[in-house]
Structure 1
Amino acid sequence: MARIHFVECNTTHPSNFVIDVPVGHHWLLVVTKTPAQFWVNGDLKEYPKHSVVLYRPKQKVYYRACADQFVNDWIRFESNEPYITESPLPFGIPFSLDDPDYCRKLFELLTIEHSFNRDYRASSIDCLLRTLFNKLLESYFHERITPQYYNLLKLRTAIQNDPGDTWTVSKMADDLGISPGYLQSIYKKTFGVSCMEDVINSRIRLAKEYLIHSTQSVAEVAFRCGYQNVEHFCRQFKQMTGYTPRKFQEQTKG
């Protein structure tokens, strides 16, 4: 289990902010939301926002603001769990975080659990920390993360959360301020599917849920999933599943 000494989310500091601890006492995890300078291998180096660094106990800690302000999430804790003590993550060397919004939510939950003395506080903190370290591992072994990646990730998250919206390639490209052709190219290169394939997959997945677990008609399901034309929905559904919506409904409910 882990014991948190202090955790903060979205903490803002002025431009002269410096942390200088020659010998750190506990584990320390820092996630930046603004550019910052870190002492790495005997030199002060600047790293972009969405950088994360893990310090082990007794390790020198030095980082500072390098812009008008410094914003970060951070947690100081003790733990003897192998997923932390034997982690392949580097100590004291920042790397890029591949899903900042997801990790921000974990920090918010950790802050809440640490602040309130609830019955399952210890186990909840342990679960959240394990999830956070899983996300850190995904980030560390992720291929090079470009600034454009974060915009694409937000777009993909929006598609997954609301597949019934009126998604078009031109609309998505306008939102990102890039050309439709360039969007299609970098989206598929990043996620392995095109942006419209993601939309269609998300719509069909949602349609399956409605067909199985609701009493809505096929036309109502089509509309809820972003289709203005029922025939188009039926044709696309059969292409993706091998069944018409009605046949799929009969098979699964039967």
Structure 2
Amino acid sequence: MQMTYIGHNHVHDMDFKIERPDGCGDYLALLIKSPALFHVNGQDVYTSPNIFFLYQKGTPQYYEAYKQPFSNDWFNFTLDAGDEDFLKKLHIPFEKPIPINNMQYFSLLIKNMTYEYYAGQNYGREALDHYMRLFLLKIAQVIPSLNKGIEKIHHDKFSLLRSKIYSAPYEKWCIEGLAHEATLSPYYFQRLYKKNFGVTCLKDIINARIEYAKYYLSQTNLSIKYIAETCGYENDVHFMRQFKSSTGLTPSEFRLQQYKS
């Protein structure tokens, strides 16, 4: 298994779009951290944040940002002799979004692969081969839990609600309103939400706002106070407290780190 290209933590504007009628020449693995729109077999497939998507070699690739800056990790790879059997045994579906609960873990794997790819050290190719196999094995472990996850009748409804939250994190979301939209009691709504996404709904709302803020902090010179208001916070003190709790950095420290990298 050989890696041909890789990218970690790339952020693009809301007009980001990929159109490759003949694919990219290799297999393409995507970790998408923002809402996205895929075009698969003539159909539009809207996805909530934190999904894995695997394109088979030679398959048309059409995907784009959806109402929010596009954030993703990715890598292209080819298969050596015997690798096709390895991939086939994992039963990872092609061109189908797979929700990822522990996105930080998978993103860290790609970060490590990115270092190996560009460092050019001895045994780098062998290390990348092991990393890719580990990555795909861990993705395969996620798939059975999907089939046991949230009840089928609620799956599409919850995915749409989550997509709405990440598309407009600045809205005044509340459990009661979201539960009403899902036609569930607040208690049952919260239980199913965490069961499906591995995080509480309130924490996910905070995560959506923090990710939204990261984009403005890294891509603009807007004031912290203005960004806090843009992300749905009533005051910048509350915003700064939640941002540091989530990232370990103040908004100013995060912005400075982005400028240095």
How much does 1:88 deviate?
A: 1.0
Contact 2:28–2:55, Cα closer than 8 Å, also in 1: yes
Amino acid at match of 1:11: H
Partner of 1:13: 12
How much does 1:121 deviate?
A: 0.5
Amino acid at match of 1:102: Y
The equivalent position to 2:143 in structure 1, one of 137, 140, 143, is 140
How much does 1:67 deviate?
A: 2.2
> Alpha-carbon deviations, 1:133-156, whole Å to 9, x = none?
011111222133688xxxxxxxxx
For 1:186 and 1:134, locate their aligned partners in 2 and report how far apart those are by CA, in whole Å.
28
Contact 2:26–2:77, Cα closer than 8 Å, also in 1: yes
> Alpha-carbon deviations, 1:74-112, whole Å to 9, x = none?
101111313225541111111111321110110000100
> Alpha-carbon deviations, 1:194-229, whole Å to 9, x = none?
xxxxxxxxxxxxxxxxxxxxxxxxxxxxxxxxxxxx
Number of equivalenced pairs: 154
The equivalent position to 1:125 in structure 2, one of 124, 128, 131, is 128
- SS across alignment from 1:142: helix
The equivalent position to 1:110 in structure 2, one of 85, 104, 113, is 113
- SS across alignment from 2:28: strand
> Alpha-carbon deviations, 1:50-78, whole Å to 9, x = none?
11110111111110000230000010111
Contact 2:13–2:69, Cα closer than 8 Å, also in 1: yes
How much does 1:41 deviate?
A: 3.1
The equivalent position to 2:99 in structure 1, one of 71, 96, 101, is 96
Contact 1:98–1:142, Cα closer than 8 Å, also in 2: no
Amino acid at match of 1:141: P
Q: CA RMSD in A?
A: 2.5
TM norm structure 1? 0.56
For 1:47 and 1:186, locate their aligned partners in 2 and report how far apart those are by CA, in whole Å.
21
For 1:96 and 1:104, locate their aligned partners in 2 and report how far apart those are by CA, in whole Å.
14
| 4+ residue runs over 6 A deviation | none
Contact 2:90–2:137, Cα closer than 8 Å, also in 1: no
Is 2:49 aligned against 1:46? no
For 2:21 and 2:144, locate their aligned partners in 1 and report how far apart those are by CA, in whole Å.
29
Partner of 1:223: none
Amino acid at match of 2:73: D
Partner of 1:73: 73
The percent of aligned pairs where both chains have the same amino acid is 25
- SS across alignment from 1:39: strand
Contact 1:61–1:92, Cα closer than 8 Å, also in 2: no
> Alpha-carbon deviations, 1:103-128, whole Å to 9, x = none?
01100001000001111101110111
Please show how residues 158-177 of structure 1 align to structure 2 within 5 Å.
none
For 1:103 and 1:55, locate their aligned partners in 2 and report how far apart those are by CA, in whole Å.
17
For 1:85 and 1:78, locate their aligned partners in 2 and report how far apart those are by CA, in whole Å.
14
TM norm structure 2? 0.54
- SS across alignment from 2:44: strand
For 1:39 and 1:86, locate their aligned partners in 2 and report how far apart those are by CA, in whole Å.
26
Partner of 2:30: 30
For 2:145 and 2:60, locate their aligned partners in 1 and report how far apart those are by CA, in whole Å.
27
For the pair shown, the structure with the greater C-alpha radius of gyration is 1
